[in-house]
Amino acid sequence: MRVLIAGVSGALARQVAMLLKGRGHEVLGLDRRAWRDPPEGIEVFETDLRKRAAEDVFRTRRPDCVIHMATVNALTAGGDERARINVGGTRALFEHAINHGVKHVVFVGRHTYYGASADSPLYHTEDEPPHGIGSFPELADLVAADLFAANALWREPRLCTTVLRLVYTLGPSQQGTLASFLRGKRVPLVLGYDPLFQFLYESDAARAITLSAEQGVKGIFNVCGPNPVPLRMIVEQTGRTAMPVPEPMLRALLGRFGLPALPPGALEHIKFPIVVDGQAFKKATGFSHEVDEVEALQRYRMLTGR
Amino acid sequence: MAKDDPIRELVNRLELPFNALGVDPYGISKKHLVVGFGILGWLYRTYFRVHAVGAENVPKRGRAMLVGNHSGGYAIDGAMVIASMMLELDPPRLAQGMAEKFINQLPIGSLWSSRTGQFTGLPEHAERLLEDDRLLMVFPEGARGTAKLYKERYSLIDFGTGFMRLALKTKTPIVPLGFVGGADAVPTVMNSYALGKLIGVPYVPVTPYGLALPLPAPCEVHYGAPMTFEGSGNEEDSVIKGYVEQVKGRIGELMEAARSGRRSRLKLGGER
């Protein structure tokens, strides 16, 4: 199978590319960020998904399957540019896919789609609408991209569309929302709150994405692995020190003293849990994780030398 | 630390799927349970001197729904029922209440309710916990039930019907319970809704002595035999209400029994 990965230079996407290559598929990549020295056999086109050159890749190389990993997810990244990439890029990818004979599109979205708020349930199922966008408008573009990808299911019935809502990842790349949060020696928490966090080890996440590309499962799926873990426990088990700070003080401190400048709504994500039910995906693909939550945290602690 | 040990032992005997870090799939943590039940156990045995009758009616394992009356200006009843399921059952069980929404919004309240399995009362939570064969605790009178005044203490206000539809849908036996004494612990003469709004809770109960700190009034709880109803949960309201009335009637009887049990205990023991 010829697979094109959009956003291939991302940490997780590279692992997906190498995994697919190792399993005998022909892998092409597309990214506006460079991937210097990709492994032999992985051809990378350095262009923006919304540019003409990107459509040329679809036209001339005619991939069977396209994996969309070119969304910007970081809570710190904001603004119009992010929205343009996430919504505009997703639209362009589906257009090119339909116009150039792609059979299967995998949209790799995030479980943050469901939103974090005090009154949202644990274990979201795929039929739930997003929650708490009001308190975190910066998330709207990711929600829009997810919904746009999902409505390809009825707009383009001949295209096989897979929408994945993937939990946070943790692993050797030390990149991603959770990893950035754990970057420092001391990790600020909101005093009196301790949400459950759900994460997959990177190798498991890459395997889940690979499986969905190979199996061509149609539909919307939450992707998760081991049990969720309280944030404070994640901080402590990875060898950091938890620093619970009263919320008003934390709000005032954001963007100073080396703390990230998070939009106010992002605090909801360290107050309340987003936990998803991944049964449907496991049933459809036979996926099961190899690294459980305890081992993942232990490995991460070793990796980051704490 | 030695004082904790019997409690730790009980927590270890809970039949919940804890991982190696002592956390279950819902984030219930052994560490927090040990601390929480240390406090609840003292309140149960020493402060409120709770007398529980019929705890053996609660199934040892598998899904079940504890359904009771509210007694007292805030959830002393719930806390003591949770304590009695831990202290009186063998093996112990963790009763999981359906908490008011405001609790998860408050700092500390959010953390402790999450770590001890007292989740926000959402239908999704209730159904998932029952499907997972947990012990659910429901007070169908809701917050209006804890707002009952002292003079209304032996009354039952209208029950919601959601619990019955859920019990039918998930084929869950209902264990009725009657709880008395909470209103003597917190003898509410009025509720201040304005003060409540100020601090982010529905209301603040006001007692003759002002503050709503609980008095050490003895409490009594009676559990009845499990009640099972046949159906799908999609029945018409009139049918559901009929079932709910049966449960409500049984709870009324259990409250009466608890009331006379408590009265004779007060006379004999010369307590208070």
Place of tokens 């052994």: B30
- The answer to whether A197 and A140 have CB atoms below 8 angstroms apart is no
Chain A residues closer than 8 Å to B114 by CB = 194-196, 230, 273
pLDDT, residue A258, reads 72
- CB A105, CB A65: distance < 8 Å: yes
Kindly report the nearest CA distance between residue A5 and chain B, in angstroms: 34
Would residue B8 be called left, alpha or beta, if left means φ above 0 and alpha means ψ between -120 and 50 degrees? alpha
Domain of B262, in residue numbers: 2-269
Cβ separation A227–B107 shorter than 8 A: no
User: Residue B79 above 90 pLDDT?
Assistant: yes
Q: What pLDDT does residue A75 have?
A: 64
Q: Are strands B64-68 and B174-180 parallel, antiparallel or unpaired?
A: parallel
What's the pLDDT at B1?
43
- Residues of chain B positioned with their CB less than 8 A from the CB of A135: none
- Partners of A190 on chain B (C-beta within 8 Å) are 107
**Predicted pLDDT at A72:** 85
Q: Give me the residue from B19, B107, B122 closest to A192, CB to CB.
A: B107
Q: Does B26 touch chain A (CB under 8 A)?
A: yes
Question: What's chain A's average pLDDT?
Answer: 93
| Residue-wise pLDDT tens digits, B90-107 | 999 999 999 988 999 999
**Mean per-residue pLDDT over chain B, rounded:** 93
- CB nearest to B101's CB, from A118, A193, A292: A118
The count of domains in chain B is: 1
Q: Answer whether A279's CB lies under 8 Å from A124's CB.
A: no
A196 interaction partners in chain B (CB closer than 8 Å): 26-27, 114
Give the percent of chain B with pLDDT over 90: 78
Superfamily of domain A2-303: NAD(P)-binding Rossmann-like Domain (3.40.50.720)
> What average pLDDT does range A289-293 have in this prediction?
98
> Do A159 and A152 contact (CB within 8 A), yes or no?
yes
> Mind telling me how many Å the CA of A93 is from chain B's nearest CA?
36
ipTM for this model: 0.91
A294 closest CB neighbour out of B21, B107, B110: B21
What is the rounded average pLDDT of the residues A112-118?
A: 92
Mean pLDDT of A190-199: 97
Condensed to tens digits (0 to 9), the pLDDT of residues A202-247 reads 999 999 999 999 999 999 999 999 999 999 999 999 999 999 999 9
Determine the pLDDT at residue B143.
Answer: 83
Q: Which residues of A are less than 8 Å from B25 in CB distance?
A: 227-228
Q: Which pTM was predicted?
A: 0.93
B106 to chain A, any CB pair closer than 8 A? The answer is: yes
CA distance to partner chain A, nearest, from residue B127 (Å): 11
User: What average pLDDT does the segment B41-69 reach?
Assistant: 97
Tokens 């003895």 correspond to B218
CB contact under 8 Å between A119 and B24, yes or no, is no
Confidence at residue A101, expressed as pLDDT on a 0 to 100 scale:
96
More confident residue, A147 or B270: A147
Give pLDDT tens digits for B113-167. Answer: 999 999 999 999 999 999 999 999 999 998 888 889 999 998 999 999 999 999 9
Burial B118-142 (b: 16+ CB within 10 A, else e): bbbbbebbbbbbbeeebbbbbbbbb
Q: Which spans in chain B are helix H?
A: 5-13, 30-42, 76-87, 101-105, 109-115, 123-131, 143-146, 162-170, 182-185, 193-199, 237-269
Reported as a single tens digit per residue, the pLDDT across B183-210 is: 889 999 889 999 889 888 888 999 888 8
Neighbours of A62 (CB within 10 A): 12
Alpha-carbon distance of A53 to A61, in angstroms, equals 12
CATH number where B112 lies: 3.40.1130
Tell me if A191 and B24 make a contact (CB, 8 A cut-off): no
**Interchain contact, A228 vs B104, CB within 8 Å:** no
